[in-house]
Copies of this chain bind each other. A is one copy, B any other.
Amino acid sequence: MSLPVSPLAPRELPDLPPIAGIRLASAPVGGYYGGRRNVLLLAADSGCQVAGVFTKNRLCGDPVTWSREVIRGGALRALLVNAGNANVAVGAPGMAAIEAKTAAVGACLGVPASQVAVASTGVIGQPLDPKPYVAALDGLAERLSERAWLEGAEAIMTTDTFKKAATAQCEIDGVLVTINGIAKGSGMIEPNMATMLAFVATDAKLDAGVLDALLREAVATTLNAVTVDGDTSTSDMCLLMASGAAGNADISDAQDARLDGFQAALEAVLRDLAILIARDGEGAQKLITIDVTGAKDEADAMLAAKTIANSPLVKTAIAGEDANWGRIAMAVGRSGAEVNTARLAIAMGGTAIVERGGLLAGYDEAPVAEHLRGREITLTVDLGVGHGKARVWTCDLTHGYIDINADYRS
């Protein structure tokens, strides 16, 4: 199945600069996706420090189990990603395939298999034969390049209709560092702690413990704030790798003010990736940004925002360009978030609709209807309780989603 590119795709992607110490190569393996490149090998030549966040799905795949263990060691030498087969729920052959692949990567690059992470995405429940991947390794290793980021972004796609990449620069204590990120994700998207697949690399010199703290903080408001269909993958992971080549000063405390710029740049990269994922939501015709304010706390704000974002009735109303704000009120009510009925406010596209719990006197739907005809929709809800707030990105629910998912495997 070949899908048209999302109408919400960005006009152009940033040109990702090299990250010293990190090289990539990709290739088509196994005939998935009409022969498009679908395997990515990433090598950290001198090793790198690494942190990761992973799916909370209780039936997480063997690749997640393996890579969580690799990341626990804090050091990474290589990463092998394949798209097309998630290597999940296949029984004992699942881990055997990972052992075969990582042993082969270790032998090929001369690194310990225990420092080789893997990620797999695609169909669940089909045994993955490691042989074609092993056979492709020598060719991949020969072509490793610091310049191959966008090919890497392509190689990890499944039903994605465009590549997702972001980059940012900042200084750590006067030293310029770069952060590159690539991601994939289009359906089965409601990350819970991590997301889809996202691989972020920097030349900053930061140890695994610091990376872990920075990553967890950044993910909460970025990758964990995007949802397409509320379904949480068995395979989600986001890795943050630091080659150390920039040679900045050692900083051992993630809260050190000298890391503020890096934290902001990391969040910018992850936010860009999160929004790109919402823009490529299966069948998406409209990008929806939902701001909830006035909540009891941030968790309550996120609960309300996610419930609105996942409501099939809200998503289909927006697909139909229908200013049916009552469905937003319904979703707020069922979310379980604390709400002050007498102070509830709802706006779309900046036009106030509900204030103090009721329809605004003299409300004119025309500007809202005009806003809904656009590609980028904003919803704002104030719960009237406290100061908690959250922002979530999602997309509308259209015939395209049904087309893609009613016939995914054929």
Q: Which residues of A contact B (CB under 8 A)?
A: 56-60, 86, 88-92, 123-127, 187-188, 192, 229-234, 310-313, 316-317, 319-320, 322, 324-327, 329-339, 341, 344, 354, 356-359, 397-399, 401-402, 405-410
A89 surroundings in chain B (CB, below 8 A):
326, 329, 354, 357-359
Shortest Cβ distance from residue A353 to the other chain B in the assembled complex, whole angstroms:
8
A234 surroundings in chain B (CB, below 8 A):
329-330, 333
Whole-angstrom distance between the alpha carbons of A9 and B399 in the complex? 24
Whole-angstrom distance between the alpha carbons of A229 and B307 in the complex? 12
Shortest Cβ distance from residue A361 to the other chain B in the assembled complex, whole angstroms:
9
Shortest Cβ distance from residue A331 to the other chain B in the assembled complex, whole angstroms:
7
Known: A320-B406, A344-B59. A334 touches B86 (CB 8 A): no
Whole-angstrom distance between the alpha carbons of A230 and B335 in the complex? 11
A329 surroundings in chain B (CB, below 8 A):
59, 88-89, 124-125, 234
Whole-angstrom distance between the alpha carbons of A324 and B334 in the complex? 30
User: Quick one: closest B residue to A397, CB to CB?
Assistant: B402
A-B contact pairs, 21 of them (CB 8 A): A57-B330, A58-B335, A58-B341, A59-B330, A59-B333, A89-B354, A89-B357, A91-B356, A91-B357, A124-B327, A124-B329, A125-B325, A125-B354, A188-B330, A229-B313, A230-B311, A312-B397, A313-B405, A317-B405, A319-B402, A319-B406
Q: Is there an interface contact between B402 and A317, defined as CB atoms closer than 8 Å?
A: no
Shortest Cβ distance from residue A319 to the other chain B in the assembled complex, whole angstroms:
5
Shortest Cβ distance from residue A383 to the other chain B in the assembled complex, whole angstroms:
10
Known: A231-B331, A332-B59, A344-B59. A316 touches B406 (CB 8 A): yes
User: Quick one: closest B residue to A363, CB to CB?
Assistant: B125
Number of copies: 2
Whole-angstrom distance between the alpha carbons of A399 and B58 in the complex? 31
User: Quick one: closest B residue to A228, CB to CB?
Assistant: B312
Q: Is there an interface contact between B313 and A231, defined as CB atoms closer than 8 Å?
A: yes
User: Quick one: closest B residue to A58, CB to CB?
Assistant: B333
A317 surroundings in chain B (CB, below 8 A):
405-406, 408
Q: Is there an interface contact between A92 and B344, defined as CB atoms closer than 8 Å?
A: no
User: Quick one: closest B residue to A59, CB to CB?
Assistant: B333
- Top 8 closest pairs, chain A to chain B, by CB: A91-B358, A124-B326, A320-B406, A59-B333, A316-B405, A125-B326, A232-B334, A57-B333
Whole-angstrom distance between the alpha carbons of A313 and B408 in the complex? 10
Shortest Cβ distance from residue A201 to the other chain B in the assembled complex, whole angstroms:
28
A325 surroundings in chain B (CB, below 8 A):
125
Neighbour of A231 across the interface among B57, B192, B311, B405, CB < 8 A: B311
Q: Is there an interface contact between A312 and B59, defined as CB atoms closer than 8 Å?
A: no
Whole-angstrom distance between the alpha carbons of A325 and B401 in the complex? 19
Whole-angstrom distance between the alpha carbons of A233 and B326 in the complex? 10
Q: Is there an interface contact between A402 and B405, defined as CB atoms closer than 8 Å?
A: no
Q: Is there an interface contact between B233 and A330, defined as CB atoms closer than 8 Å?
A: yes
Whole-angstrom distance between the alpha carbons of A408 and B324 in the complex? 9
Shortest Cβ distance from residue A88 to the other chain B in the assembled complex, whole angstroms:
7
Shortest Cβ distance from residue A91 to the other chain B in the assembled complex, whole angstroms:
3
Neighbour of A405 across the interface among B90, B126, B320, B359, CB < 8 A: B320
Q: Is there an interface contact between A312 and B229, defined as CB atoms closer than 8 Å?
A: yes
User: Quick one: closest B residue to A407, CB to CB?
Assistant: B320
Known: A58-B333, A312-B312. A326 touches B405 (CB 8 A): no
